[in-house]
Amino acid sequence: MIDATRYMDTALPDCGFQAAINAAAEAGGAVVQLPAGRFELDRYLFLRTGVTLRGRGPETVLTIAGQETRRDLSGDVPVGSNEAIVYGDLDGLAPGMVIFLWPGDDSAYHGGRVGQYKVKQINGSMIVLAKPNEHEIHAEDKPWVSWGLHTYLTCPAVKGEKAITVAHPEIFEVGHAVQVSGKGDSWGHHFNVITGIDGNKLELERPLTIDAEDSLVQHGFAMITADGENNIAVEDLVIEGWRSPQMPRWVCLDFVFSAIHTVRCDEITVRNVEIRRWHSDGISIQKGVNCLVDECSVIGCRGRGFHPGSGFDGGEWTNLKAVGNELDGFYYCWNCTNINVRDSLLKDNRGHGIGGLGDPGDRRATVSGNVIEGNGKSGIQINGGGTDSGTVIRGNVIRDNSRSQPGKWAGISIYPTGEPAGGYLIEDNTIASTLTEPTQLVGIEERNGDPIRAEVWTGGKRVVDRIADGNVIRGNRFSGHIRADVIATGADTSVSEGGDAKIIRKKGPRLNLNSGS
């Protein structure tokens, strides 16, 4: 075991913990024991093969050090205007810097209504924008402006080099993490650490893995990350994001900024970790084999709670809690196989309780023993899975979802968007609507994608239809649904529900179950 206190220096951007991780890796793998305390970090911790990072439960808190500068806007900013007036000083803001104008509704982050601008000039408390404002801003909505975490490259970044040149190096310090977007790495992103600042040049810890130009350079990061490492673990600690619910805007695929984000790693364990108010997803595990995520909580984060994806194969996600996150509580993403989520609470998230299940390429999942309630969209969203997904949804409690748009989303929504949705077994679930003013009006709804394209072979290439068919729905318990307990469209979907379940059968096209899709 490596005692991290031997390496600890809270004046460093990583509090010295990366040196302890490196020592454990050089010893052939070991547990790095973090002390109790609250530790502010300005860079990520990079796990290495064979290393377990272990805290002392809720007594060990890793949190964000740098905080974005924000000022309230004092008046309307009409579309087309180049002027924004703020309350308070503009110290630290200079012409050419990057700012973001927020309309006042924090959920605008996901609606694309947060405007990114360069500062042309500053006149007292007025910011003059280099381009016209693109989104209507009203003072009554309590809008704000933010800056201090973003600048631009001023010269192209070249793969293999260990330096970049930026417009405003003053927003960084040696030891800070930076992110650059370009061509050549996963999802076009690259993380690095600043080792020196020479004028406008940032010297970097390791060579660039991308080519980039006209890119933002962002002082943002995943708190704990790994790429291409095996047999790694994070245990018994808390990761905390922003003191204010007004979190920053990241300009890229923001899941790469998840609190814990691994890529191309095998044999991963994350156990007894709580994540609060993070600026992206909670736990993102991409491109690898075998993970155990157990007894973890993600609460009040900007993105999704839990996010396996990008071809990951084999995962047990158990005893989880995803509550009050901006997007889905649990999100299946892109070609997941054998990813099981069990015995978890997925509650009051603004997206689906479980979303993205099926499309594209998700196969052979098990969703069982979960409580899924009060989410903004579906309890469980199925959007594909092929003609024979091999996925089982069994023994869950699913109630009072579709809070964001009452009546739009079912407890379980089967609605293929890019490939067929067939071969699901949905059984022994309790699906209920209990509110005085119901929001979940349908228990299970199966419907076809729009528009439907018949499956044909054209020039040797298969055109995939978006049909829901060939599913088995049986032995579920329903209560309180106004419109229907089950709406089934598939000609070969089997519905066997007893009692007084209200079932609506709609005549839809038959899915070619032998197509191999």
| pLDDT of 458 higher than 50 | no
Average pLDDT over residues 262-286: 97
| pLDDT of 69 higher than 60 | yes
- Percentage of the chain beyond pLDDT 90 is 85
Mean pLDDT over each residue of the chain, to the nearest integer: 93
| pLDDT of 110 higher than 80 | no
Fold of 69-148: Elongation Factor Tu (Ef-tu); domain 3 (2.40.30)
Q: Which residues have a Cβ under 8 Å from the Cβ of 302 and sit 6 or more positions away?
A: 109, 241, 247, 254, 278, 279, 280, 325, 326
DSSP string, 306-337: EEEESS-EEEEEES-EEES-SS-SEE-BSS-E
pLDDT digits (tens, 9 = 90+) for 11-53: 999 999 999 999 999 999 999 999 999 999 999 999 999 999 9
d(C-alpha 175, C-alpha 203), whole Å: 10
In this structure, are strands 266-276 and 230-240 parallel, antiparallel, or unpaired?
parallel
**Distance set, CA 371 to CA 69, 225, 237, 275, 284 (Å):** 39, 29, 24, 20, 21
pLDDT digits (tens, 9 = 90+) for 112-146: 899 999 999 999 999 999 999 999 999 999 999 99
Q: Which one, of 297, 224, 237, lies nearest residue 57 by Cα? A: 237
| pLDDT of 461 higher than 80 | no
d(C-alpha 107, C-alpha 302), whole Å: 9
Average pLDDT over residues 236-259: 89
- Percentage of the chain beyond pLDDT 70 is 95
Domain parsing of the chain, residue ranges? 69-148, 228-505
Helix extents (H) in 171-235:
none
| pLDDT of 460 higher than 70 | no
Cβ atoms of residues 269 and 295 within 8 Å = no
pLDDT (0 to 100) of residue 150: 96
Please indicate whether the domains covering 69-148 and 228-505 agree at the CATH topology level.
no
pLDDT (0 to 100) of residue 453: 55
pLDDT (0 to 100) of residue 516: 43
| pLDDT of 457 higher than 50 | no
| pLDDT of 160 higher than 70 | yes
Q: What is the CA radius of gyration of the chain?
A: 25
pLDDT (0 to 100) of residue 510: 75
Tokens at 36, concatenated: 């109790």
pLDDT digits (tens, 9 = 90+) for 416-456: 998 999 999 999 999 999 999 999 999 999 999 866 554 44
**Distance set, CA 460 to CA 81, 279, 463, 485 (Å):** 54, 45, 10, 41
Q: Would you tell me how many other CB atoms lie within 10 Å of the CB of residue 161?
A: 12
Q: Is the peptide bond before 360 cis (omega within 30 degrees of 0)?
A: yes
Tokens at 173, concatenated: 């310090």
Q: Which residues have a Cβ under 8 Å from the Cβ of 49 and sit 6 or more positions away?
A: 25, 29, 229, 230, 231, 232
CATH superfamily of 228-505: Single-stranded right-handed beta-helix, Pectin lyase-like (2.160.20.10)
Cβ atoms of residues 137 and 81 within 8 Å = no
Average pLDDT over residues 378-402: 97
| pLDDT of 245 higher than 90 | no
pLDDT digits (tens, 9 = 90+) for 330-372: 999 999 999 999 999 999 999 999 999 998 999 999 999 999 9
